[in-house]
Amino acid sequence: MSSQTVPGPSAGGAEDGDGCAEYLERIVYFLDNELDQADVQQVQLHLDECAPCLRKYDLERTVKAVVARSCSEAAPSGLAERVRMQIRTVQVQITDG
């Protein structure tokens, strides 16, 4: 992996995987459309180049869809549980990575 060196005053600091945890928090807000435009762009940029976070984003979106559906359809509780497990797996991978 080669990181681009962008000459600039204070751009943010080292994000060597550590940044992912921050982004994962933002992804939740991102899905709820509760982010500032600047943050939205940052998250989108990160999702473009970070596969684990993108997968987490997809899963979060799936959970939201399942939850929304279960509200109207009373889906079996096992389904949401299973999706949660998947998310946890991805989170562990990200933490380990």
- Residue 59 as a binder of Zn ion (CB under 5 A): the answer is no
Judged by CB under 5 A, which stretch of 6-14, 45-53, 74-82, 85-93 contacts Zn ion?
45-53
Separation of CA 42 from chain center: 12
As measured in angstroms, the least distance from the Cβ of 53 to Zn ion is: 3
As measured in angstroms, the least distance from the Cβ of 74 to Zn ion is: 35
Residue 56 · residue 28 · CB < 8 Å: no
Q: Any idea what DSSP says for residue 36? A: -
Residues lying near Zn ion in the complex (CB under 5 A): 20, 50, 53
